[in-house]
Amino acid sequence: MLTTSQWIFLITIILVTYAGGYYPLFRREKARQAEGFPLGGAFTAGVFLALSLILMYPSASKLLNKSFPDFDYPIVSVLVLCVFLVLLGLEHIIKNFERKSASTNNQLSNPTIPIIMTVMIAIPSFFLGTALGVSDPSTAVFIWIAIMVHKSSAAFALALKMVRSTLTRNQTLIIFSLFALSTPIGIIFGEDMHDYLSSETLVFVKGFILALASGTFLYMATLHDLEHAPLIKSCVTKKGFFIMLCGFTITLLVRLLIGEAHHM
Query: pLDDT per residue over 24-71, tens digit each?
Result: 787 766 655 555 555 656 676 777 777 788 877 888 898 888 888 888
Query: In the chain, where are the structural domains located?
Result: 38-258
Beta bridge partners of 109: 165
The phi-psi region of residue 235 (left if phi > 0; otherwise alpha if psi is between -120 and 50; otherwise beta) is alpha
For residue 263, the tally of other CB atoms under 10 A from its CB is: 9
Cα maximum dimension of the chain: 60
pLDDT band at 264 (very low <50, low <70, confident <90, very high): very low
Q: What is the DSSP letter of 242?
A: H
Beta bridge partners of 165: 109
Tens digit of pLDDT for each residue in 121-139? 787 788 888 888 887 777 7
Which H or E element spans position 34? Answer: none
pLDDT at 263: 47
Burial code (b: 16+ CB inside 10 Å, e: under 16) for 56-82 equals bbbbbbbbbeebeeeeeeebbeebbee
79 or 108: which leads in pLDDT: 79
Q: In terms of pTM, does the model score above 0.85?
A: no
Task: Over range 94-117, report the average pLDDT.
Answer: 65
Task: Over range 227-248, report the average pLDDT.
Answer: 69
